[in-house]
Amino acid sequence: MWPLERRDISLAKLKGEMNKFGVDRAITLSAKGIFYDHILGNNETNEVCSGDPRFIPALTVDPRRFIGYDEEIERRKLEGFKILRLFPEYQGFTIRGSHVKRIAAKAMERNLPLMICAQEGIAIILELLREFRKLRAILVGMGYSEVAELLIAMEEHDNLYVETSLLDSLDGIGMIVEKFGAERLIFGSGAPLGYVGSSLNIVRRAPISEAQKGAILAGNIMGLVGGG
């Protein structure tokens, strides 16, 4: 269920979108873990992903709950979860919080990339990365107005990756590839809430090589999560 408005985020809908656009695999998680209970949500994610190799599980932890976060991350890592996703945009916590820092430290220790939006600005993400230099972070939801700051942030931190779903300016993807190569761009769509066709188009029509497109669409993320 997507509680913010009436939307179909069922597994069937997600599979339908993947089939329609030829998406082979998807990193996914349960919305229950975002809005209600991260343990129940992670259970649901595990159930779905362990039954279908097309899905790569992402775990989430709600920093506002905090207690037991380390056991939860340990458990999910053993179950095969590949990425930690935090949701400040829905849960309202600050990335500067000491609870988030503990969680980030644990993710770094367990070699889990952290996927997060820059709700409070890219500068705050950089603060986190300066403290946890080996943490690999994937910024989601970066749009055209953030590209200038991204170029600086990516220069400062080799462990900063960018998800492409909203890099929809004419030059956004091309400029990043020109400066840093394609290795730190990761394809995302937000499916089934977002338009998969749009997200795919901006990569496929970017002024970059086919090999670079392939890296963005699949190779880079598979490298990050250890082959899935």
Partner 1 sequence: MDDFKIIDIHAHYGSLPWTPFKRSGLEGMIGVLDEFDYERCIVSSIEAIVYDIHNGNRETMEAVKADSRLRGYVTINANYVEESKAIVEEYVTEHGFVGVKIHPDSSHQPVDSPNTLEILGAVDKLKVPILVHTYGNGGVADPTHALNVVEHYPDLTVILGHMGGDNWRGGIEVATKGDSIYVDPCSCTQPHSDKIKEAKRRIGTERILFGTDLPLLNPAWALGMIESADITPREREMILYDNAKQIWKSI
Contact residues: partner 1, CB under 8 A: 2, 7, 20-21, 141, 143-145, 147-148, 151, 165-166, 168-172, 175, 190-202, 204-205
Write the CA distances from 184 to 49, 131, 132, 194, 205, integer angstroms.
25, 20, 18, 22, 18
Shortest Cβ distance from residue 20 to partner 1 (Å)?
8
Shortest Cβ distance from residue 64 to partner 1 (Å)?
22
Q: Say which amino acid occupies 199.
A: S
Closest CB to partner 1 among residues 95, 140? 140
Shortest Cβ distance from residue 165 to partner 1 (Å)?
7
Closest CB to partner 1 among residues 130, 204? 204
Give Cα 228 to chain centroid, integer Å.
14
Shortest Cβ distance from residue 119 to partner 1 (Å)?
14
Closest CB to partner 1 among residues 2, 36? 2
Residue 103 backbone phi and psi in degrees, to 5: -65, -40
List, in sequence order, every beta strand (DSSP E) within 155-221: 160-163, 185-186
Residue 165 backbone phi and psi in degrees, to 5: -55, -30
Pair 91, 34: CB distance under 8 Å: yes
Shortest Cβ distance from residue 2 to partner 1 (Å)?
8
Q: CA Rg, the chain, in Å?
A: 17
Pair 42, 59: CB distance under 8 Å: yes
Closest CB to partner 1 among residues 87, 132? 87
Separation of alpha carbons 152 and 74, rounded Å? 33
Taking phi over 0 as left and psi of -120 to 50 as alpha, with beta for the rest, 56 belongs to: beta
